[in-house]
């Protein structure tokens, strides 16, 4: 006994009772319920299952509070991104020596003052295209600036040669002949390089702008009258605007769109322009910011600024600005923390900022690089560019809620019907048992599919979820009903019931207050295992597309898109994590159920 | 015994009609109008008045305005339809599939053969593995192998089939490239005779493996539990005391007693995999009843879905009947009691 006192908590939770206690002594000091609890606590597998289940339960119930989900979210630039947090992990060589940094949707590229190009992040765009495969002529050249598009990188070297690599199938590398150095026409000196989705644009020292790339959906030609006066170019996904040397902003192309009507206030005194994916922004010399385009994430609403902005930079759905007092401000979409400027940035003296997609890099006067924004996705993204971790925890919450409520419904119906049938017997018993038998003989999955189809997909997602719970509950009460009935049939004949009847206790009170507590332990087993079954059924329904409908995530419908070889092979993270946590969860519940069954069943003690 | 069988049969018929009536009512809850669907194609070419007249005539012809009991009786083949014929399920006419534009019997024939084939095959495979395994574990209860199997079986029956399917596809089709990912025959290859069946079997390997593996967990546990119960009976002690050979004790004395619960479980489980094969068929793109059922529901072909639902119901009812009869056959007490 003295040894046992010394044993640690873990040992007490998981260890077996080594010392043999005399059966009579043990039963004398322990009530049956205490013995069951003791048995359960000493079942290693059961305790492991219980702890595992509680960990998962905590994860899916607490993390969603800190990780809100935006059900409408989807981003075609972030689709099928593998797990990793390397999107802002620039190499050490750039520190203190940076010439230019640019960010694509899932990768980054930078060039140092010695002309070496570096890439980082998820650079593999398709199975064959990888922007990390820097062409050898680029490696040989002394690159001075570069810019990342959706799936390509454009770079310029000190001799004004333009290089493009990555995906070049849609004309991303159709560099206009004017920009190709030639002996007869001379070389145009490039002073600015910008990229959009699959297009690139360059401004030369003599005020000309040239654009090239994927011409679908974009407007690449430049009005002749502006050539020679262009100071700066800003490119959204597919369109561009120009800052001219007279301080006005113009839309340089020929098509009519949301950008072609430049606000009248930008006709003069403009010092800087920038573009996000869907908006453009002009900065006037008095510090006002003027936006136009289709702002969707609040990037077109200027924030309260502590002082005049000097320079502005655009990301995908956010802008960053460097203010006169040295502060840095970001505004717009903050789903990946891209507008949450860290204190270290505001404490440092910032030389310049590079913003792109969801990332920001601020370079201090000392050459240090500070970053904020999207580092990457811990568990990757799905085929709509949604973060799998967020969907996993929220999906778990949904799946568990549905399973729990469905099982609660089944339990309530089962206890009431079983109690009535068992206690009253006769015709009540006959009717209830026939109904239970009819429902029990229905093939479960096909019938659940049918009911789900009847509910239809036209109704509100939330209401549909509740109806699915009810359907599952209504279909799975028969087992509990039969169990309760059988137990009550056995208990009914005992003396204490007779005593209660003799004392004129109400019948309902006899069933539910006197008899039912005796069958609670067995009910507990049934309820635990039923909970796992309900979760499985819900996820099977959702997997087949008949359960909870997207965008609400559940562990079942997250796997809905996974049954094709491309996803299974190339995008393994889209099904492995969900399968893993779901598998662990159901295994844990079943372990707990088994352990309770063993604890309740006196036969398992081997007496 | 005859009385018992007749009683069970009579009971089954009552349940069948109750369930089928319930199903019929449920399907009628779905907002749909077959007469309007029938006229949808020529709607634009008709004047409104003419359309209305044809629509009403069609409704009359289809008997849509009759009470639901009458319509049910007609669909069942218990009452004469408008043309005065008995033409319903009991006469072998299951209706017309609007999606496939064929009689339902023709549509269902091929998938049904596939489904029944894979289910029976998987059952035989699973039984062949689980019965010896379960017996071995029961005999060596508490041993290392038994404990290991116990943990493995919990894992086996906890994980949903489609996750097992995904894992198997990943391992055997994607990494090892032993089996094709999905389908039920090499596309474009018109094999005949033996080669056709070998090709088919090759494509069915992976689904069969998944189905077998998915059922190993639960089945092994049942066999083990039944066998442990049987081995703890008093007559086993007697037999051992009398010096009967251990093999005879296990396979003759104990196994026969364990058979009773196992039969019930096996049949219940066999019916379960008919619904379970819904998921397998859908995942592996097999042309079976399950995928057909989902196709019917997705395309709002409710006549087809209803007919197939009846199939599932009949399968489960027949299964329950066989279970009861086999109980009565194996255990004389059952048939005397009832």
Residues in A whose CB is inside 8 Å of some CB of B read 45, 437-438, 441-447, 449-451, 453-454, 532, 536, 539-540, 543-546, 559, 562-565, 568-569, 572, 575, 579, 582-583, 586-587, 589-591, 594
The pLDDT of residue A55 is: 93
The DSSP bridge partners found for residue A163 are A155
Q: pLDDT band for A457, please (50, 70, 90 cuts).
A: low
CA B98/CA B112 separation, integer angstroms: 19
Q: In chain B, which residue's Cα lies nearest the Cα of A603?
A: B229
- DSSP conformation class of B175: I
Contact A565 B275 (CB under 8 A): no
**Concatenated DSSP letters for B43-59?**
STTS-HHHHHHHHHHHH
Q: Is the pLDDT of residue A275 over 80?
A: yes
Contact B162 A559 (CB under 8 A): yes
The DSSP bridge partners found for residue A92 are none
Q: Is the pLDDT of residue A298 over 90?
A: no
Contact A442 B293 (CB under 8 A): no
Residue B93 Cα, gap to closest chain A Cα (Å) = 22
Side-chain-side CA neighbours of A200 within 13 Å: the count stands at 33
Instruction: Among A45, A450, A587, pick the best mutation site for testing chain B contact (most B Cβ within 10 A).
Output: A450
The pLDDT of residue A408 is: 94
Contact B282 A544 (CB under 8 A): yes
Q: Is the pLDDT of residue A19 over 60?
A: no
Q: Is the pLDDT of residue A289 over 50?
A: yes
Q: Is the pLDDT of residue A602 over 70?
A: no
Q: For chain A, first and last CA: distance in Å?
A: 23
The pLDDT of residue A406 is: 93
Handedness of CA A26, A32, A38, A43 (dihedral sign): positive
The pLDDT of residue A30 is: 64
Q: pLDDT band for A42, please (50, 70, 90 cuts).
A: confident
Contact A536 B160 (CB under 8 A): yes
Other CB atoms closer than 10 Å to residue A261's CB: what's the count?
Answer: 10
Q: pLDDT band for A58, please (50, 70, 90 cuts).
A: very high
Does any CB of chain A come closer than 8 Å to the CB of residue B212? no
Residue B224 Cα, gap to closest chain A Cα (Å) = 14
Residue A166 Cα, gap to closest chain B Cα (Å) = 27
Q: Is the pLDDT of residue A97 over 50?
A: yes
CB neighbours of B124 closer than 8 A, spacing ≥ 6?
Answer: none
- Which bin fits A84, alpha (ψ -120 to 50), beta or left (φ > 0)? left
Nearest CB to A568: which of B15, B159, B170?
B170
Laid out side by side, the sheet with A270-275 consists of: A270-275, A279-284, A289-293
Contact A451 B276 (CB under 8 A): no
Does any CB of chain A come closer than 8 Å to the CB of residue B159? yes
Contacts of A604 in chain B (CB under 8 A): none
CA A524/CA A506 separation, integer angstroms: 26
3-class secondary structure, A438 = helix
Does any CB of chain A come closer than 8 Å to the CB of residue B276? yes
Contacts of B309 in chain A (CB under 8 A): 443, 446-447, 450
The pLDDT of residue A1 is: 40
List, in sequence order, the alpha helices (H) in B103-143. 104-139
Residue A597 Cα, gap to closest chain B Cα (Å) = 13
Report residue B92 as tokens: 């072998």
CA A407/CA A528 separation, integer angstroms: 9
CA B208/CA B168 separation, integer angstroms: 11
CA A132/CA A150 separation, integer angstroms: 14
Q: In chain B, which residue's Cα lies nearest the Cα of A580?
A: B163
More confident residue, A8 or A226: A226
Q: Is the pLDDT of residue A458 over 80?
A: no
Nearest CB to B279: which of A450, A540, A586?
A540
Contact B309 A450 (CB under 8 A): yes
Contact A450 B163 (CB under 8 A): no
The pLDDT of residue A433 is: 86
Instruction: Among A45, A399, A433, A443, pick the best mutation site for testing chain B contact (most B Cβ within 10 A).
Output: A443
Q: pLDDT band for A414, please (50, 70, 90 cuts).
A: very high
Q: Give kind and range of the element (H or E) at residue A199.
A: strand A199-204
φ, ψ (nearest 5 deg) of residue A444: -65, -60
Does any CB of chain A come closer than 8 Å to the CB of residue B166? yes
Other CB atoms closer than 10 Å to residue A522's CB: what's the count?
Answer: 18
* A370-389 b/e (C-beta count within 10 Å ≥ 16 → b): bbbbbbbbebbbbebbbbbb
Q: Is the pLDDT of residue A411 over 90?
A: yes
Q: pLDDT band for A93, please (50, 70, 90 cuts).
A: confident
Contacts of A589 in chain B (CB under 8 A): 158
Q: Is the pLDDT of residue A134 over 60?
A: yes
Nearest CB to B154: which of A441, A546, A590?
A590
Q: Are A310 and A304 in contact (CB under 8 A)?
A: no
Residue A248 to residues A140, A264, A271, A532, Cα–Cα distance (Å): 39, 10, 9, 66
Laid out side by side, the sheet with A328-332 consists of: A309-314, A318-323, A328-332
CA A595/CA A55 separation, integer angstroms: 18
Q: Is the pLDDT of residue A555 over 60?
A: yes
The pLDDT of residue A56 is: 92
Residue B316 Cα, gap to closest chain A Cα (Å) = 6
Q: Are A92 and A86 in contact (CB under 8 A)?
A: no
CB neighbours of A430 closer than 8 A, spacing ≥ 6?
Answer: none
Using only the alpha carbons of chain B, give its radius of gyration. Answer: 25
The pLDDT of residue A78 is: 87
Q: Are B134 and B220 in contact (CB under 8 A)?
A: yes
Q: What does the mean pLDDT of chain A come to?
A: 85
Q: In chain A, which residue's Cα lies nearest the Cα of B300?
A: A453
Q: pLDDT band for A3, please (50, 70, 90 cuts).
A: very low
Contact A546 B297 (CB under 8 A): yes
Contact A437 B317 (CB under 8 A): no
Contact A446 B316 (CB under 8 A): no
CA B308/CA B299 separation, integer angstroms: 14
Does any CB of chain A come closer than 8 Å to the CB of residue B154? yes
Instruction: Among A544, A581, A604, pick the best mutation site for testing chain B contact (most B Cβ within 10 A).
Output: A544
Contact A438 B279 (CB under 8 A): no
Q: In chain B, which residue's Cα lies nearest the Cα of A575?
A: B166
**Concatenated DSSP letters for A507-557?**
HHHIIIIIIHHHHHHHHHHHHHHHHHHHHHHHHHHHHHTSSSPTTS--TTT
Residue B124 to residues A87, B128, B131, B207, B268, Cα–Cα distance (Å): 52, 6, 11, 14, 15
Q: In chain A, which residue's Cα lies nearest the Cα of B282?
A: A544
Other CB atoms closer than 10 Å to residue A37's CB: what's the count?
Answer: 13
CA A219/CA A212 separation, integer angstroms: 10
Contacts of B292 in chain A (CB under 8 A): none
Report residue A149 as tokens: 């598009």
User: Which of A158, A163, A89 is CA-nearest to residue A119?
Assistant: A89
Contact B29 A450 (CB under 8 A): no
CA A135/CA A131 separation, integer angstroms: 9
The pLDDT of residue A164 is: 92
Contact B26 A532 (CB under 8 A): no
User: How open is the CA angle B3-B6-B10, to the nearest 5 degrees?
Assistant: 140
- Extract the residue ranges of chain B whose pLDDT is less than 50: 337-338
What count of residues does chain B have?
338
Provide, rounded to the nearest whole percent, the portion of chain A with pLDDT above 70: 93
Give residues 23 to 52 of B whose Cβ lies within 8 Å of A.
Answer: 26-27, 29-30
Give residues 278 to 297 of B whose Cβ lies within 8 Å of A.
Answer: 278-279, 282-283, 293-294, 297
The predicted-structure confidence for A494-527, as pLDDT tens digits, reads as follows: 888 888 888 888 888 887 788 877 778 778 888 8
Q: In chain B, which residue's Cα lies nearest the Cα of A435?
A: B15
Contact B170 A45 (CB under 8 A): no
Contact B158 A589 (CB under 8 A): yes
The predicted-structure confidence for A314-362, as pLDDT tens digits, reads as follows: 888 899 998 888 888 899 888 888 888 888 888 888 888 898 889 999 9
CA B138/CA A18 separation, integer angstroms: 25
Nearest CB to A569: which of B174, B271, B320?
B174
Report residue A2 as tokens: 């003295």
Contact B158 A590 (CB under 8 A): yes
Contact A443 B275 (CB under 8 A): yes
The pLDDT of residue A129 is: 87
The DSSP bridge partners found for residue A313 are A320
Contacts of B308 in chain A (CB under 8 A): 446
Provide, rounded to the nearest whole percent, the portion of chain A with pLDDT above 90: 18
């Amino acid at each position: 006994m003295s040894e046992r006192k010394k044993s640690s908590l873990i040992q007490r939770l998981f260890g077996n009772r080594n010392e043999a206690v005399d059966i009579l002594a043990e039963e004398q000091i322990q009530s049956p319920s205490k013995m069951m609890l003791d048995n359960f606590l000493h079942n290693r597998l059961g305790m492991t299952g219980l702890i595992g289940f509680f960990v998962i339960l905590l994860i899916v119930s607490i993390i969603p509070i800190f990780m809100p989900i935006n059900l409408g979210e989807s981003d075609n630039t972030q689709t099928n991104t593998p797990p990793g947090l390397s999107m802002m992990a620039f190499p050490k060589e750039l520190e203190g020596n940076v010439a230019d940094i640019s960010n694509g949707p899932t990768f980054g590229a930078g060039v140092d003052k010695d002309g070496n190009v570096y890439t980082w992040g998820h650079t593999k765009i398709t199975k064959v295209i990888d922007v990390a495969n820097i062409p050898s002529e680029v490696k040989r050249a002394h690159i001075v600036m570069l810019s990342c598009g959706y799936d390509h990188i454009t770079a310029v070297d000190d001799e004004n040669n333009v290089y493009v690599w990555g995906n070049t199938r849609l004309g991303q590398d159709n560099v206009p002949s004017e920009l190709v150095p030639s002996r007869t026409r001379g070389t145009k000196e490039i002073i600015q390089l910008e990229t959009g989705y699959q297009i690139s644009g360059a401004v030369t020292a003599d005020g000309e702008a040239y654009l090239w790339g994927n011409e679908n959906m974009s407007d690449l030609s430049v009005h002749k009258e502006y050539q020679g006066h262009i100071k700066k170019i800003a490119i959204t996904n597919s369109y561009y605007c120009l800052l001219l040397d007279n301080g006005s902003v113009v839309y340089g192309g020929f098509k009519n769109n949301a950008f072609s009507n430049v606000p009248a206030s930008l006709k003069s005194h403009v010092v800087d322009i920038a573009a996000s994916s869907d908006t453009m922004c002009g900065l006037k010399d008095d510090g006002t910011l003027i936006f136009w385009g289709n702002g969707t994430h609040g990037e077109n609403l200027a924030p309260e600024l502590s002082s005049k902005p000097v320079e502005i930079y655009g990301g995908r759905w956010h802008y960053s600005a460097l203010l006169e007092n040295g502060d840095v401000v970001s505004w717009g979409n903050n789903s990946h923390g891209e507008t949450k400027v860290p204190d270290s940035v505001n404490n440092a003296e910032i030389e310049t900022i590079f913003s792109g997609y969801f990332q920001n890099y601020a370079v201090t006067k000392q050459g240090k690089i500070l970053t904020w924004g999207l580092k990457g996705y811990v568990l990757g993204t799905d085929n709509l560019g949604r973060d799998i971790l967020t969907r996993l925890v929220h999906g778990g919450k949904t799946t568990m809620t549905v399973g729990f409520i469905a099982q609660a419904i089944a339990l309530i119906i089962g206890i009431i019907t079983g109690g009535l049938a068992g206690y009253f017997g006769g015709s009540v018993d006959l009717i209830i048992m026939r109904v239970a038998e009819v429902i029990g003989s229905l093939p479960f999955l096909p019938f659940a599919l049918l009911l789900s189809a009847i509910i239809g997909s036209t109704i509100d997602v939330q209401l549909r979820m509740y109806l699915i719970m009810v359907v599952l509950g209504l279909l799975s009460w028969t087992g509990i009903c039969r169990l309760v009935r059988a137990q009550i049939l056995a208990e009914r004949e005992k003396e204490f019931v007779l005593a209660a009847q003799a004392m004129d206790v109400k019948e309902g009170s006899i069933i539910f207050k006197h008899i039912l507590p005796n069958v609670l332990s067995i009910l507990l087993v049934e309820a635990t295992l039923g909970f796992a079954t309900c979760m499985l059924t819900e996820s099977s329904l959702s997997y087949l597309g008949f359960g909870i409908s997207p965008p609400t995530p559940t562990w079942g419908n997250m796997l809905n898109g996974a049954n094709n070889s491309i996803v299974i092979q190339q995008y393994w993270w889209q099904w492995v994590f969900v399968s893993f946590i779901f598998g662990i969860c159901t295994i844990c519940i079943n372990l707990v159920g088994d352990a309770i069954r063993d604890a309740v069943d006196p036969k398992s003690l081997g007496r | 015994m005859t009385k018992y069988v007749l009683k069970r049969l009579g009971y089954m018929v009552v349940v069948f009609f109750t369930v089928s009536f319930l199903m019929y009512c449920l399907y009628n809850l779905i907002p749909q109008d077959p007469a309007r669907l029938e006229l949808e194609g020529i709607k634009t070419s008709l004047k409104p008045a003419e359309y209305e007249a044809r629509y009403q005539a069609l409704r009359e012809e289809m008997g849509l305005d009759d009470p639901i009991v009458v319509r049910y009786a007609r669909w069942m083949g218990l009452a004469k339809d408008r043309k005065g014929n008995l033409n319903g399920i009991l006469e072998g006419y299951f209706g017309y599939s609007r999606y496939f534009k064929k009689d339902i019997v023709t549509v269902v024939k091929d998938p049904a053969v596939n489904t029944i084939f894979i289910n029976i095959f998987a059952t035989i495979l699973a039984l062949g593995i689980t019965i010896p395994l379960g017996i071995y574990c029961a005999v060596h209860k508490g041993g290392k192998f038994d404990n290991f199997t116990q943990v493995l079986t919990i894992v086996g029956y906890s994980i949903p089939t489609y996750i097992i399917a995904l894992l198997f596809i990943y391992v055997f089709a994607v990494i090892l490239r032993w089996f094709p990912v999905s389908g039920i025959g090499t596309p474009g290859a018109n094999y005949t005779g033996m080669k056709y069946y070998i090709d088919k079997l090759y494509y069915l390997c992976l689904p069969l493996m998944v189905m077998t593996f998915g059922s190993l967990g639960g089945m092994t546990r049942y066999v083990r539990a039944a066998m442990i119960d049987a081995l703890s009976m008093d007559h086993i002690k007697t037999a051992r005391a009398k010096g009967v050979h251990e093999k005879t004790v296990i396979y003759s004395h104990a196994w026969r007693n364990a058979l009773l619960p196992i039969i019930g479980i096996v049949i219940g489980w066999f019916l379960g995999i008919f619904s379970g094969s819904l998921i397998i068929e859908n995942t592996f793109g097999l042309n079976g009843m399950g995928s057909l059922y989902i196709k019917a529901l997705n395309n709002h072909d409710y006549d087809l879905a209803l007919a197939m639902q009846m199939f599932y119901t009949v399968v489960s009812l027949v299964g329950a009947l066989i279970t009861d009869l086999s109980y009565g056959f194996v255990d004389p007490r059952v048939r005397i009691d009832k």
